[in-house]
Each structure stands twice: as C-alpha cells, then as structure tokens.
Amino acid sequence: MVVLNRIYTRTGDDGTTALGTGERRPKYDLRVSSYGTVDETNAMIGVARLHVDPASRLAAMLAAIQNDLFDVGADLATPERPGKAERLRVVQSQVERLERDIDELNAKLAPLTSFVLPGGHAGAAYLHVARTVCRRAERLMAELTARADEQVNPAALKYMNRLSDFLFVAARCMNDDGRADVLWVPGQNR
C-alpha cells in the first residue's frame, strides 16, 4: 500500500531521487529518465481519455493500461537485487492481454495503404502523441538494458513495445475506425 501524506520531502533538492530500493540517483539518471518517460506516456493517455466515450471498450482498455504503466514504473524504479525480496514486476500475461486488445481493435480496421499522419479526431491525435512518448520510453529502456551494470525486466520492455502498437491501432479506431485517418502522400508538396 502506498501512503502519501506529505507531498514534498525536500530530499530531491540536491538533484537526486530515491529508487524503490532506497538508492539515490541523479534525476537525469537513465533509469529515472526511463520511468519518468513511462509516466509521461501515462499522462498523455489520460489526456486522450478525455476524448473517449467513458462507457466504451476502448476506455476500459486505456484504464487498464494506465494502471499497468504504474506497474512498469514501479518495476523500473526498483532494480532487482540478489538476495532481496522480489518487488512488483510486469508479467507476460500483461503483454498478452495487450496483444489481445490490439487484435480486437485491429479486426475492424481496413488494411493501410499508406502511413498515417498524426491527426484526425482530437482523441486520435492525443493517442499518437502518447504513442511517440511511449516509443521514447521504450528507447530509453532499451538503452538501459544495454548497460552491463543495469537490468530491465524483459516483460516490461515488451509491454512498452506492444503499447506503442496498441496506441497506433487505438488512434485509428478513434478516427472512425480508420475512415478518417490522415494518410501520408509521398512527395505531395514537391
């Protein structure tokens, strides 16, 4: 259980923050940047949800994703420590649920004939912004994974990869199931 009864602690005034292990890291540390960008993704999904029918299946999917993103952040904020109790980790079933949701949404979309430009319905545009922030989080996590002295849960990295795909498909759904997609016309303005 998380209890936040005091919002400011002053402990970060020196430019550091605490990981879930208690270890202090600079606020520009790659791990901190990774889970901070996951948090940005979550915030952008929150903005996109303002444009989604709250009673829709998509709204329920996005709500589940927002909760999952807190799991991803907690996973990243608490690196594994040998001999210590295991903390919250993203699991493969969360990735698989996201894949099922992608397949469900994608089933009603016509195949693409061109790349899609971000735009159309406001909700779709916000989902595209969330998708690009998600890709940035994924790149940061991949970079963190490549460091010999760092570990990233493979399921968390997979989750972020699938999430960007989900957000793309969800944006198309918001654009009248792809009928209002704004398509790229190569060389149109030459």
Nearest by Cα to 106 from 178, 163, 179, 183: 178
Domain encompassing residue 138: 24-80+87-179
In a domain, 1, yes or no: no
Number of domains in the chain: 1
Stretch 40-64: mean pLDDT: 98
Predicted model pTM: 0.93
In a domain, 184, yes or no: no
In a domain, 186, yes or no: no
User: Phi and psi dihedrals of 182, rounded to 5?
Assistant: -95, 115
Given pLDDT bands bounded at 50, 70 and 90, which one contains residue 43?
A: very high
pLDDT tens, 134-146? 999 999 999 999 9
Q: What is the CATH number of the domain that holds 99?
A: 1.20.1200.10
By CB atoms closer than 10 A (0-12, 13-18, 19+), residue 128 is buried
